[in-house]
Each structure stands twice: as structure tokens, then as C-alpha cells.
Structure 1
């Protein structure tokens, strides 16, 4: 053995360290985990003031998996087309609203112009989710960079962000 191989102070190259989220990204994560802040828009939507948030946000009313009580969440719209709204679950498949929709598929949406509209739920697979997120990232690169970094930091690595699609229910 050579001296450099036995030297405890020798720096040995290892696999690259994952990028630590910046201060702004960690702040975004902290805000997204602060319940009273993320729940504040719900009262405005329920009061009919959802129009204040424009087209980028939507309130989802869903039913609890066990209690079947009404639950509410406001999330950002990733993609909007005629009669289709897609949203991302930033905290992945662990998010309570995502788990509730997966369990029972019951959803009512309130957007800027419409309130309490019944919608069918479709959970997109990984490939579809990544394709829609790529389009979102191209459209809003700065927002995507910070939100993705915050979600990666919260997940402790590369976060999987699934997409949920809402369409008119079958008649």
C-alpha cells in the first residue's frame, strides 16, 4: 500500500452528492408544509372568490377514504384543455387527497368561473405524468425548477410527481 492510500485525510472521489435545495427551494417546501397557509385559499373558494386565483389553481372537493367526510384541497393546474384539467401531486402518492381520489374517485372541482362541478378522476401512469410535467417545465421553467427542487428535498431524493386528470363524468 502506498502512503496516499492509507492517509486518513486523503479525499477519495465518491459518487456525486445529490444537489441540496437552495434557500428559496427549502422555503417553498416549508410553506407547502405549513397547513394554515396552504389551506387559506379553501375559504376563499368556498366563499365564491376562487376567481381571484385565476386559471392556475383549482379546488378539489373529495371524500375521505375511511370517514367519507368532505375534504378540500387547492392545487396548481399543470395543464388545462377543453373539459380536461390536470394537476400534480407535489408530495407524490403519499398526499392525502391523492390517496382519497385513488380510493374512491369522487371529485368536485371549483375553478375561477365554475363551482362544485362533478369530475371523473384518472390517475396518470409515470410515463404520462412525466410527459405532462415536461410540457409544464417548458412553459414555466423557473416555477418548475423551484417546485421540483422543493419536492426533491422533501422526498429526500428524486421525487415522483404523479398527475391526476379530471374530465367530465360519463353520462
Structure 2
């Protein structure tokens, strides 16, 4: 695994495109994304205002909890917000759940990324390229990417 060029969160027109799924969810069309994307509703750590972000589901389900990765690292606003206030709401498809956000260890993140790559090899390769990582497709490479990115498990419950 090689770091080619780590990118920050999108800005300008790219940010608008990244935010488009939030509006799709707001229109009540979350089912279009199936179980691959979730709408995360959380509170801003400074303002206390409600915020929303659509993030990819890396694994899990409604019983064990959903896994997500902060592709833009520990500085992503949603990631910092859920660490500050872990009681949030997610919506996967049309199902809304109150959950508690729990950060994973580096090793748990490594295994989550390797498992994701086994299930979705093309998506994993494209995602890594988008995030600035050059991978050779091996489980070891995906584990190394997983160690460098923060993962969160959203566990069902009050």
C-alpha cells in the first residue's frame, strides 16, 4: 500500500455532489440506496445544531450494528461530532434507528476494510484510489488502509 495523495473533504461543486444523497433521503427515497448507504443524523459539537451526512455502510446490519469509515480521516466533521456525542440516529433504506457510535481500534478497522474488500473488490479499489491510496488488491494492503482510517460501529439501542 502506498499513499499517493491524501485528499481533504470535497469543496465547491464536488461538495454539492457529495451532499446530493442527503437530499435524496430527505425526499423519502432512501430505499434507492438499499443497505449500502446510511443517513447519519447527529449534533454539531460546537453549535449543537442537527447535522446530516450520508456515509457508506462498510458492513454489519441492524442487529449487530452498522460499520462506517471516515474516508477523510479523523478531521471529518461527522466523525468528530459522533465522538463528542455518540447517541445519534441513522437511516438505512427506509429504516430509522437510534444508535450509539463506538470507534473501532486500528486492528478492528484493518479487519473491517479487508472484509469490505472481499465483498466489494471493485468498489474497495476505487474507494482507495479516491482517498489517495494505491493498493495492489491484497488483503494485507487493505488491512493497512484500514489501520490508517477511523472506523465506527453504530450499535442499535437508546
- Bin of the TM-score, shorter chain as denominator length: 0.7 to 0.9
Q: Structure 1 residue 151: deviation in Å? A: 1.2
> How far is 1:31 from its partner?
9.6
Choose which of 70, 73, 80 in structure 2 pairs with 1:92. 73
Look up the SS of the partner of 2:93 in the other structure.
coil
Shift in Å, 1:109 = 0.6
- 2:45 and 2:81 in contact (8 A); partners too: yes
Which residue is equivalent to 1:3? none
1:106 and 1:72 map into 2 onto residues whose CA distance is 14
Asked if residue 73 in structure 1 is aligned to residue 73 in structure 2, the reply is no
Q: What are the ranges of 5 or more consecutive residues in structure 1 without an aligned counterpart?
A: 1-17
Paired with 2:9 and 2:53, the residues of 1 have a C-alpha distance of 15
| Equivalent position of 1:161 in the other structure | 149
If asked which structure has higher relative contact order (CA below 8 Å, sep 6+), I would say 2
1:63 touches 1:106 (CA, 8 Å); kept in 2?
Answer: no
**TM-score normalized by the length of structure 2:** 0.80
Whole-angstrom CA distance in 2 between matches of 1:105 and 1:54: 24
Q: Secondary structure of 1:92's match?
A: coil
TM-score normalized by structure 1?
Answer: 0.74
Question: In the TM superposition, what are the counterparts of 1:20-99 in structure 2 within 5 Å?
Answer: 20=4, 33=11, 34-83=14-63, 84-99=65-80
- Stretches of 4+ aligned residues off by more than 2 angstroms: 18-21, 29-33
In structure 2, distance between residues paired with 1:167 and 1:103: 16
RMSD (Å) for aligned C-alpha atoms: 2.3
Report the 3-state secondary structure (helix = DSSP H, G, I; strand = E; otherwise coil) of the residue aligned with 1:93.
coil
Figure out how many residues of one structure are paired with residues of the other and give that number: 142
Secondary structure of the structure 1 residue equivalent to 2:74: helix
Give matches, 1:90-129, under 5 Å.
90-115=71-96, 117-129=97-109
SS in 1 for 2:57: strand
**C-alpha contact (below 8 Å) 1:101/1:107 kept by paired residues:** yes
How far apart are residue 100 of structure 1 and its match? 0.4
Partner of 1:94, secondary structure, is coil
